[in-house]
Each structure stands twice: as C-alpha cells, then as structure tokens.
Structure 1
C-alpha cells in the first residue's frame, strides 16, 4: 500500500523581511487536508505557532521555522530511509523565497537577505535531504515567489532537481498574490480546490493538476482584480507528469 508523508511549512512573521498575511493559514489548511481528508500517515508541521515535536526517544524538537530548526530537522530526520518503493513524500512551503547567485533559497523566519548563504535554506539542500527518505516520489509545492513589499518573484523556479516534482505558485518574475477576500493565497486556494475534485474531472495526476492550476489561478486573480499569476512546474524526469498523486 502506498504511504504518503508530508513536511509543511508556513511563515507569516519575519525578523528582517516584510511579514505576510496568510502563509500560515495556507499551511494549516494544507496540513489539515493531508491529515483529515487524504489520510496521510505523517505530517510534520512548522509554523509561527506550531507545537513542538516529541521524538520516539522523548526528545523535544522545536517547530518554530528558524534556520537552525529547519536545517537540523532536514539533517536528522532524513539521515536514513524511512519510506519505500511506491511511497510519496510531499513538501509544502509558504513564505519568502529568494534567488541568489543562480540558486533558489527558502527564507526561514530569521533569514537575513544580506546574508543569504548563511541564513537561508537552499532548495538544493531541501531536495537532497528529502530524496534520502526512500520514497519513490518527492513532490514539492512552493509558494515562495515573493519579494519584500510587493511579493515580486526573484526568478525562484529556475533550478531543476533530478527525480523531484516541483510546482511553483507562479512563473519566474511574476508575483504570488494573497487574496484578502479569501484570507488565502490564490495558489493554495486553488491547489486545495484541485485536490478535492472527484470523478472523471479529477486532478489525480501531476499533468492534470498542473493543467487545472495554470487555468484556474490566473482566472481567480482576475476575478479579484489581481495581476496575472501562472503556476510553473519542473518535473524530473518528464514521465512523472503521468504519476498518480492521489487515487
């Protein structure tokens, strides 16, 4: 039987970047969907107000999304395989992201845009650690195409990661929008909408999911008076476009 695990991160409050409004809410809703509707076996959740994790040995892991906590969790938890052939590991991040010297970085709550290499988590490191989990498929949803002030994308989304399915909330250099009327980002609102579709029109495969997102997100933005935002996929290798995500 296929097992699904997930690592979900949402950050509103930043020490050195403009805070966001609905990144934590987006992450909470994704976490709840994975747990309550999709029946995931494990969902690890880091946010501004998430509770500590208690390890099997009784040790406590803080889930505040600081650089040290995120780095150490990725290092320690993924040191040896815990999943198997056919399994899926999902990663969702909602917060700030920056492209620096041709590399994509996710900004923790204490990340410093003046010291990116020392205080941000490179997407290369994230994918390298996630691939160690033993799952056949690693799926990333990244609503990290934001810039301080106006949330303009900084080119995040140009890196390819072998063996990883990545869907970005917008195309490079577009903006990723939060919609106050929905109290959510338009990407996550639409992602949840897509994952809940049943029947013949479902979004069970990567290809179907992407086709729905690239149509529906721009439509939703126009409906609420926001600029164009088109989700952008990088799928390695290409045959994983046909992977069934959720039966």
Structure 2
C-alpha cells in the first residue's frame, strides 16, 4: 500500500471535520439568536427530540441487524456527556460573544490529547502536542484573564465534554453504522432531558421552535460527520481540524451580531489557525 493511499483516510477525516464545524457554527448562531429566551433544559430536550425525528427514517430503513446497539454502556455515557455539554454550550453562547465562547470550545483538541492516551493508548507525536499547545495559547489570548466572564467556565465544560464525546466513539465497534450510533445516543438522552425540560417548561413562540429545529439539524449533521471522522483516523492526527470552526463563528459574529474582533483576538485566532495550514 502506498503512502498516499495510507494518508487518504486522514485527509478525508479532516475535510469531514471542517464541514462539520461549519454546520456546528451555524447551530451556535441559532442559539445566539434565541438570546436566552428558551431555558437550556427546554432547548436541549426539543433539539434532541427533533434530532431523533430526523434520524428515525434513516435508522429504520437499515437492515434489522444494523439497527442494533453494539455497546450500550458507552453509548449511554456519550448520551449524557452530550447533554451536559449542550447545557454548558447554551449558557456560554448566550452570555459570551461567539468568538470568545468558541475559543474556549476549541480547547477540546488539547484535552483530547491526554484523553486519547488514557482511554485509547494512542501516542501523539511531539509535533502534535506542540501544535495543540500553540492553539490553546491562542484561545487564552482571545479569552484574556482581565476580561474573564463566569460563563467561560461553562464554555470549558463544553470543551471537556466534546473531547470526551469524540474520544469515546472509538470504543464503538466499526461495524455499527453512524446512523445507528447517532440514533441510540439521541434516544438515550431523552429521559433525562425530558424530565428536566418538564420542570422548566415555558410557552414557546413558533420562531423559537424554528431556530431550535435549525440548530438540531445542524448539530446532528456535525455529530454524524465527527463520528465518521474519528472512526477513520486517530484523534491525535485530526483533532486540530476542530479549530476551523473558530474561523466560521468569527465571520458569523461580524456579519450577524456586530462582534468585531480586536487585535488580540486576531492574534489568538492566528495562533489557532496557523497549525491547520497545509505544509508544502
């Protein structure tokens, strides 16, 4: 097998992650538009319910043997990790700018390095460790301790759960389809999210439901693409591609919310983006 053919899965995984992060960024825009008008618990439950409805036809049209859940324990853990991360995400995006919140979100690849060593016995190269540290420093510059906001703690919670969610997918057998993985992960999240939503339920306007539906569509697409990507290549080789979403949220923040980055934010973004640049 040639070196070029060996590298192909990694390149494809990176492309899938970049596309997924574009869609995840659009989901963040939908949450920002809601502006705290919907409680996090209510948002999470409705998003998961809509996601399940979107996934069901694809899951049902598979062969019966492909619908079965291969690793219920790991899937159950991933379902509730996703709930925690989603709740933290709603709070952080509501109170922080898109760029600031996502700068903290994108410390997830750094967190994936020790997690991949601990859970998957992967051995990242010194170069990969250095690149992720550079990206993390860029995120710190964007956040800036002098402007620290309590919501940044929730953003860090999102980053931690995202890293764990993506790492744990490697514990799921490769013969389980992406649709089945997403379907069961979403379904298993409904009891807890539904119970919390019931406690904090409030009337909704149709436009709020529309934004939640859009967010669900975008984020389930991201989850699917990320699931495929992390099955195709080791996390330590592709996790830097997660940083691409920061570029998208900065652009969307400028266009839709007048969130103009200052010079330090630009420097931080540069430190995050530079390691992603292809080497000639």
Greater helix proportion: 2
Greater strand proportion: 1
- Determine if the TM-score, normalized by the shorter chain, exceeds 0.5: no
Give the TM-score normalised by structure 1.
0.28
Q: In terms of Rg, which structure is larger?
A: 2
If asked which structure has higher relative contact order (CA below 8 Å, sep 6+), I would say: 2
Give the TM-score normalised by structure 2.
0.26
